Amino acid sequence: MGEVEANEASALVKLIANSERIRMLQAMLEGEVRVCALADRAGLAQAATSQHLAKLLIAGIVVQRRDRQSRYNSIVPEWADILRRLIRAAEQHDALRTANSS
C-alpha cells in the first residue's frame, strides 16, 4: 500500500471511528431510517445527525432517499457486511479486554 492509499484508508477509519456515527450506522444496519428517528436512536439533535450523515454520504457509505418531506437513510449494500464485521470485532475486542482485566 502506497502513501496515498494509506492516507485514504486512514481518513476512512477516522470517519467511522466516532461513537455517534457508529450508533447511527448500527441503526441503519437494521434497515432504512428517517433522519428524525435516527437522531432519536443515536441520542443526537437532528442538526448534529444531519451533519454526521453528510459526511457518511460524501464518503459513499450511506445513501439517502427523499419521500415528500422525509429523508430516509440506509447503508450502501456493499458496506453493510464490512460495517457489521467492524462493529462485531470492536465488541469482541472489548469483551476480551474486559475478560483479561478480571
Model pLDDT, residue 50: 94
pLDDT tens, position by position, 38-97: 999 989 999 999 999 999 999 999 999 998 888 899 999 999 999 999 888 888 877 777
| CATH label of the domain that carries residue 7 | 1.10.10.10
pLDDT at 64: 94
Higher pLDDT, 102 or 36: 36
Residue 41 DSSP symbol: H
Distance CA 74, CA 72 (A): 7
User: How many separate domains does the chain show?
Assistant: 1
The pLDDT assigned to 102 comes to 65
CB atoms < 10 A from the CB of 88, how many? Answer: 10
Q: What is the pLDDT of residues 6-31, one digit of tens each?
A: 888 788 888 888 889 999 999 999 99
- Write out the residue range of the structural domain in which residue 89 sits: 3-100
